Chain A
Amino acid sequence: MTASLSFLSILVGTAVFIIAVSPVILIILLIKDWKGNQLW
């Protein structure tokens, strides 16, 4: 495996993981704000 392939795989893999968990984090925060009556 070349350095550029490893770099590309790790870079994109990490990026996809962060994007995938982001909506989950946002929805958890939304529910928390909603329950605490702190939405806006």
Chain B
Amino acid sequence: MNPVNSAILDPTTGWLILALFSAVWVFLGWFWGRKTRQLDEFMLAGRNVGMALGVATAMATWVTSNTTMAAPQLALQLGIWGMIGYSLGSVGLMLFAPMARRIRKLLPHGYTSGDFIRLRYGNLSWRIFLVISLCYAFGWLISLGMAGGVLIHALTGIEYQLGMTVIISICVIYTLLGGLRAVIGTDFIQTILILVGVVVLAWLAIDKVGFDRIHQSVLEERPELLNLLMPAAIMFLFNNLLFGIGEIFHSNVWWSRAFAFREGVGFPAYLIAGLMWVPIPIVAGFVALTTPALGLNVPAADMVGPMVAAKLLGVGGAILVFVIVFSALASSLDSLLAATSDFITQDIYHGHINRNASDAHLHKVAKIVIISLGLMTWLLCLPRISTLASLLYFMGPFVASAIWPIVAGLYSTKANSTAASLAMLMGTGLGLYSYFAIGFYVAALVSAVVSMLLVLIGMWWRPESYDWRQLNSRSHV
């Protein structure tokens, strides 16, 4: 099937929407960034972000193109448990809530998750952690960039390369102009667009098709999807839970927000964001379950949402889905660009290349890094190699291995540096082995268990007596 001919919107409408959103985001990026002079303002929005923007940015960043597009796919593969399993991704956000409060308290001058690992465990663990974090960040950047191109193409017929170039360029420009303040400000608007769009879509499905008809059609055509004891789905549920926790606990995307939120905001902001996120994959999955009742033959799982919307609401519905997807993509891509730039600037440049760099110099470096990241992501996305798009799923064992070193390091003075390094290395190694030997659904689980055992053995065998004040006094490199 030619995707251009099967696209729901015509390219002109697609370009108009892209142009409108691009102009708004770039203007807001400039507006919010026009007075930014200090490094703290650029990287961490002045460390004074309030509750409303805090909740919205945590929520929007975690709603990626995967949430709106992969959840329908999982609902059609694993049924009700697929929807619930995906929604467990929110557990990571909620568990990070108390950690965000502790991070803010222990490292009031911190910039990145790397700062914590370096100060808590020393250089070896820090460098292992840098590799894990950077691999994950690139995996996520590439998956978002490629998803942008693919979805814009599928929805509007605009060439993959053009769509991908536009979305990466726009996010780079406004992040560059406004730093984290632009990212957080646009995240608020994007959150409102996503929430309103999803609720309209769900309401249409319930109102125009109805629970009874949807249930009856699924029961006749795909009864296994309504089985509440589907074993494969329950296995997926646990793996997804640990993958999500690993992603959030280690990634600087979430740490940079913990540093950026005003004191007292981190805990409630992450908790509320997690609660608001839970229903999104459930509703996105439910929309997919309407396809048998609507008699839709979906060519690709990515197209479930747009096709249902177009069937129920015509072109308006397709535009609605385009806006939701564009918002979901931009809100994650901008956050990742900003957080990865902070990470490279502080942990690689400042930590390894120029230890005496001033804040003004680091501010310039951060901007160069944002442009370079955008360029590198664009180059890697250009050939549209499908294996690169699935790189993120391969990262489960990497990120899960960092869960226990981070939790133990934040809450116990006994956590041992050597054990933390070994936990990350062995957890990743054995997790990857199980990925190939058994299957993707156990990789994060094996990694987290191995890492946990090594951290606990280290604490019992050679307990350290860490002084928390070291985190406060030596936060800067």
Residues of A within 8 A of B (CB): 2-5, 7-9, 11-12, 14-16, 18-20, 22-23, 25-27, 29-30, 32-33, 38-40
Pairwise interchain contact B55-A19, C-beta atoms closer than 8 A? no
- Residues in A with CB closer than 8 Å to B52 are 26-27, 29-30, 32-33, 39
Q: B275: nearest residue on chain A (CB-CB)?
A: A18
The answer to whether A29 touches B51 (Cβ under 8 A) is: yes
Q: Name which of B135-143, B192-200, B406-414 contacts chain A.
A: B192-200
B52-71 with Cβ < 8 A to chain A:
52-53, 55-56, 59
CB neighbours of A33 from chain B (8 A): 50-53
Q: Which 10 A-B pairs have the closest CB atoms?
A: A15-B279, A29-B52, A30-B52, A33-B50, A15-B282, A4-B226, A38-B50, A5-B215, A18-B279, A22-B276
Contact between B53 and A20, CB atoms less than 8 A apart? no
Query: B420 on the interface (CB 8 Å rule)?
Result: no
Q: Any chain A CB within 8 A of the CB of B11?
A: no
Known: A15-B278, A32-B51. 17 other contacts (CB 8 A): A2-B215, A8-B80, A8-B215, A9-B211, A12-B202, A12-B211, A12-B283, A15-B283, A22-B195, A22-B276, A26-B55, A26-B191, A27-B192, A30-B53, A33-B52, A39-B53, A40-B50
- When the two chains form the complex, which single residue of B48, B188, B275 contacts A26, counting CB atoms closer than 8 Å? B188
Q: 30 pairs across A/B with beta carbons < 8 Å?
A: A2-B215, A4-B219, A4-B228, A7-B228, A8-B80, A8-B211, A8-B226, A9-B211, A11-B80, A12-B206, A12-B286, A15-B280, A15-B283, A18-B275, A18-B279, A19-B202, A19-B276, A20-B199, A25-B272, A25-B276, A26-B56, A27-B192, A29-B52, A29-B55, A33-B51, A39-B50, A39-B53, A40-B48, A40-B50, A40-B53
Chain B CB count within 10 A is highest, among A5, A12, A16, A25, for: A12
Chain B interface secondary structure, helix, strand, loop or mixed? helix
Which B residues touch A14, using CB under 8 A? 279
Count residues on chain B whose CB falls below 8 Å from chain A CBs: 44
By a CB distance below 8 angstroms, the chain A residues around B278 are 15, 18
Cα of A33 to Cα of B289 in the assembled complex, Å? 39
Interface centre among A8, A16, A19, A25 (most CB of B within 10 A): A19
- Please, which residues of chain B bring their CB within 8 A of the CB of A18? 275-276, 278-279
* Closest residue on chain B to residue A11 by CB atoms: B282
The answer to whether the Cβ of B262 comes within 8 Å of any Cβ in the partner chain is: yes
Chain A hits for B188, CB < 8 A: 26, 30
- A19 with B199: in contact, given A9-B211, A40-B49 (CB under 8 Å)? yes
Residues of B within 8 A of A2 (CB): 215
- Could you say which residues of chain B place their CB within 8 Å of the CB of A9? 211
- Quick check: A12 and B282 within 8 Å, CB to CB? yes
Chain A residues, CB < 8 A from B276: 18-19, 22, 25
